Amino acid sequence: MENSILIKTVDLTKVYPMGGQSITALDSVSLTFRKGEFAGLVGPSGSGKTTLLNILGSLDAPTKGSAEVLGEKVETLSHKKAAALRNRHIGFIFQTFNLLPVYTAYENVEFPLLLLGLPPAARKKAVMDALDWVHLADRAKSRPNQLSGGQCQRVAIARAVVKKPSLILADEPTANLDAENSHHILHTMEDINRELRSTFIFATHDEKVIGHLRRKIVLVDGKVAKDEVIKAA
């Protein structure tokens, strides 16, 4: 794969069986993402945004077509190799957070670093920095059921960026945030994007997020309806 190309999908198709029928969530999606992009998938509810992020994050496999992510073909990866790819290189912000309920905010954010085997002192600093980015350093000891929806979302964001991964997949990361927190988090993500050249791919309906994107891909019925580069204002 060409050096600066991080992701390449060819005719990516996902069909879910539904009783006797089937739902085509993605229909021959061919897209390329380069290192350092700040891109977003937009489109109506049910258009395939989450499905595409899940496949790019090697959490799901396509029915047809291929997705090459950081040099690995997702459709042929074993569970073990897919987990290693995610643990090392991908930060995922889920639409439903997926925080571990019995863990504190601190422990949730620390989790990806334990998988990487980072030494304790470096781990502590990285976790507190990440909690600081999302303005939650003072809630490090709280568990998800003691936090609001927006606070849980911010913990999930901290967890996704804590290891400074090369690829961050963010599914509706601002859905539960107020304007101030949304803007702060978007600026933090832009800083990470600029400083580390981490690639961000969002799925979003939020105009605040859309306003920060440098590339906007519109999905309609699982197909790419539009793919445009947005010039800086």
Ligand X SMILES: Nc1ncnc2c1ncn2[C@@H]1O[C@H](COP(=O)(O)OP(=O)(O)OP(=O)(O)O)[C@@H](O)[C@H]1O
Q: How many CB atoms lie within 10 A of CB 24?
A: 16
Judge whether 113 and 159 are in contact, CB under 8 Å: no
Closest to ligand X by CB, 53 or 126:
53
Binds 25: which of ligand X, Mg ion, none (CB < 5-8 Å by kind): ligand X
Judge whether 100 and 108 are in contact, CB under 8 Å: yes
The tokens for 53 are: 């992020």
Taking CB under 5 A as the binding criterion, the range among 42-50, 66-74, 112-120, 189-197 that sits at the site for Mg ion is 42-50
> Which residues contact ligand X by CB under 6 A?
16, 18, 23, 25, 45-51, 95, 203
Closest to Mg ion by CB, 5 or 210:
210
Q: Residues 226, 72, 80, 201: what is their CA dihedral angle, to the nearest 10 degrees?
A: -30
- Measure the CA–CA gap between 233 and 229, rounded to whole angstroms: 12
Binds 45: which of ligand X, Mg ion, none (CB < 5-8 Å by kind): ligand X
Closest to ligand X by CB, 58 or 188:
58
Binds 91: which of ligand X, Mg ion, none (CB < 5-8 Å by kind): none
3-state secondary structure of 175: coil
Select from 50, 58, 174, 193 the one that contacts Mg ion (CB under 5 A): 50
Residue from 59, 78, 60 nearest 14 by CA: 60
Nearest distance, CB of residue 204 and ligand X, angstroms: 9
Nearest distance, CB of residue 206 and Mg ion, angstroms: 12
Closest to Mg ion by CB, 105 or 224:
224
The C-alpha angle 218, 222, 227, rounded to 5 degrees, equals 25
Nearest distance, CB of residue 178 and ligand X, angstroms: 20
Binds 3: which of Mg ion, ligand X, none (CB < 5-8 Å by kind): none
Closest to Mg ion by CB, 49 or 159:
49
The residue ranges of DSSP E strands in 79-214, in sequence order, are 90-93, 167-171, 199-203
Closest to ligand X by CB, 44 or 71:
44
Nearest distance, CB of residue 135 and ligand X, angstroms: 26
Nearest distance, CB of residue 138 and ligand X, angstroms: 31
Q: What DSSP element (H or E) covers 195?
A: helix 179-196
Binds 48: which of ligand X, Mg ion, none (CB < 5-8 Å by kind): ligand X
The tokens for 190 are: 């832009």
Spacing of C-alpha 53 from chain mean position:
7
Specify the residue for token string 């995610």. Answer: 86
List residues binding Mg ion (CB under 5 A).
49-50
